[in-house]
Amino acid sequence: MFSDSPHEECGVFGIYAPSEDVARITFFSLYALQHRGQESAGIAVSDGKTINTHKEMGLVSQIFDERSLRHLKGHIAIGHTRYSTTGSSQVINAQPFTMHTLLGPLAVGHNGNLTNAASLRRQLMERGVGLMTSSDSEVATMLLAGLEGNTWSQRIDAFTNCVEGAYCLTVLTRDALYAVRDPWGLRPLCLGRFGDAGWVVASESCAFDTIGAEFIREIDPGEVLQIDRDGPRTIAKHPAQQQAFCLFEYIYFSRPDSYLQGQLIHEVRMRLGHELAREAPAEADIVIGVPDSALPAALGFSQASGIPYGDGLIKNRYIGRTFIQPDQRLRQQGVALKLNPLPNVLNGKRVILIDDTIVRGTTSGPIIKLLRKAGATEVHMRVSAPPIRHPCFMGVDMATQPELIAFNKTEAEICETIGADSLAYLSMDGLIRATRRDANGFCGACFSGKYPFPIHEAGKEIFELTSI
């Protein structure tokens, strides 16, 4: 509740490590990837013969105990944390998806969104396949179970040829772990070394730090990596002509201590603040950020502008999911349930407020009201990303286009709506500069409307069988 942020969809992890307790290591890795999905989580383990799975709704810490780990014995594992973007919030949609196939047991963890899922569903159904869920991750698993090819590598190759969209897959079979990244490289995926004989893959490098693994490199766009007793080897590589890494991983999704494309996310976010200070300076006494994700950009803005950095808003660390509705009076309190301003810091000050994104615009106004109530004389809002004007079809839950405030209003109108003294967004150029990468390698479709490939199926609705 009380949130106006886009939602990342999932975190994936995989490990091949003979003679290690791979389920336990996967558990702690999922802990580190919990920020990428808090609705459900699961672990699947192969012992060379069969695959055991445990998955449930809830946080990683709630789902697993010693008893469930005891049943997850083996030497290869994949793990998944999930926030639903397509498919509803039910345990039947929890991943990994596990299936019996002609080539033996199969488990798949998927991060992303297949943009041609509706066509693929239809093809599957025309082939006589029933689908238990509305999830495109089941579609992905069922495709792997049924595509042509007598080996998993042939099938994975066939898979990459028929799907469109964003996907990082970890695929677990009896004897091997596969890591697959879509040709555009929309979502992150990296490879690490675990001990002498083990290998790990994860959405973000922070998982490696947690378990003491060593970061080796990113999986390349379009790469299929197979890891088995012979170690990791690239068995296919079909990059798109134009790569399209999601800019929001830099801006908001990834943990600040993760490395992406050789960049520490925290550092990039500080540079977003530098760029923003240069592009949209303001006379002010203090720079503050909306905790937690916008704090590095605020620190960067402070450094670049010379305006002192301060803590202006305190976040209640324990706000979790509650089913208690605030009454009328409490609703007016709004974001105050989550954020509290520090009057002594703010009183009489001209404040620069940094946030990393405005989606629907529902929280910025209340936050600015809080700051003024705490004594801020001016509030200059600076956003460390360009305005979001287009929906995402690649796996981010970002609101529908009509809900996007920047689709409906000009910057001046937004400024007025949220009650700021001034408002500025970071430019696309500034954003790219902060990443220190080539502009061509990114997907910024939510800002520009330029999608990395044509989106044919937007709005195709898939009816849903509900399990309750």
**Annotated binding-site positions:** 246, 293, 355-356, 392, 443, 446
Q: Does residue 84 touch a second copy according to CB under 8 A?
A: no
Q: What angle do CA 344, 350, 355 make, to 5 degrees?
A: 90
Q: Which is nearer to a second copy, 36 or 390 (CB)?
A: 36
Q: How far is the CB of 164 from a second copy (least distance, A)?
A: 20
C-alpha 14/C-alpha 328 separation (Å) is 47
- Identified binder of a second copy from the candidate list 2, 24, 242, 365, rule CB under 8 A: 24
Residue at token pair 């089941």? 138
Q: Which residues of 171-201 are buried (b: 16+ CB within 10 A; e: fewer)?
A: bbbbbbbbbbbbbbbbbbbbbbbbeeebbbb
Which of positions 436-465 make contact with a second copy (CB under 8 A)? 462-465
Restricted to residues 26-65, the positions that interact with a second copy (CB under 8 A) are 27-28, 31-32, 34-35, 38, 49-55, 59-62, 64-65
- Helix, strand or coil for residue 387? coil
Decide: is 21 part of the binding site for a second copy (CB under 8 A).
Answer: yes
Contact yes or no for 74/53 (Cβ under 8 A): no
Instruction: Round to whole Å and give the CA distance between 105 and 297.
Output: 46
Spatial CB neighbours of 66, under 8 Å, sequence gap ≥ 6: none
In the complex, the smallest distance separating the C-beta of residue 273 from a second copy, rounded to whole angstroms, is: 12
Give yes or no for residue 146 binding a second copy (CB under 8 A): yes
Distances (CA, A) of 38 to 34, 84, 320: 6, 9, 11
Q: Is 365 in the site for a second copy (CB under 8 A)?
A: no
Figure out which of the listed residues 162, 319, 439, 458 binds a second copy, where binding follows CB under 8 A.
319
CB nearer a second copy, residue 49 or residue 233: 49
- Are 95 and 137 spatial neighbours (Cβ–Cβ below 8 Å)? yes
Confirm or reject binding of residue 220 to a second copy (CB under 8 A). Answer: no
Residues 287-316 that bind a second copy (CB under 8 A): 292, 295-296, 299, 303, 308-311, 314, 316
Nearest distance from C-beta of residue 12 to a second copy, angstroms: 17
Query: Where do we find the tokens 């502009």?
Result: 439
Q: Which residues have C-beta within 8 Å of that of residue 401, sequence separation ≥ 6?
A: 389, 390, 391, 407
* 126 forms part of the interface with a second copy (CB under 8 A): yes
Query: With binding defined as CB under 8 A, does residue 332 bind a second copy?
Result: yes
- Residue with Cβ nearer a second copy (111 or 135): 135
Q: Which is nearer to a second copy, 83 or 447 (CB)?
A: 83
Q: Which residues contact 78 (CB under 8 A, 6 or more apart)?
A: 12, 13, 14, 15, 26, 43, 44, 96, 107, 108, 109, 170, 171, 172, 177
Q: Does 147 bind a second copy (CB under 8 A)?
A: yes
Q: Indicate the residue among 351 and 406 with the shorter CB distance to a second copy.
A: 351
Report the distance separating Cα 100 and Cα 81, nearest Å: 22
Active-site residue, selected from the candidate residues 10, 168, 190, 206: 10
CB of residue 444 vs a second copy: minimum separation in angstroms?
24
Half-sphere exposure (Cβ direction) of 324: Cα atoms closer than 13 Å:
7
Annotation: binding site for [4Fe-4S] cluster: 246, 392, 443, 446
19 near a second copy, judged by CB under 8 A: no
Taking the complex as a whole, the smallest distance from the CB of residue 280 to a second copy amounts, in Å, to: 23
* Least Cβ distance, residue 427 to a second copy (angstroms): 24
10 is catalytic: yes
Q: Please list every residue from 99 through 118 that binds a second copy, using CB under 8 A.
A: 99-102, 104-107
The C-alpha angle with vertex 278 and arms to 449 and 409, in degrees rounded to 5, equals: 40
Residues acting as catalytic residues: 10
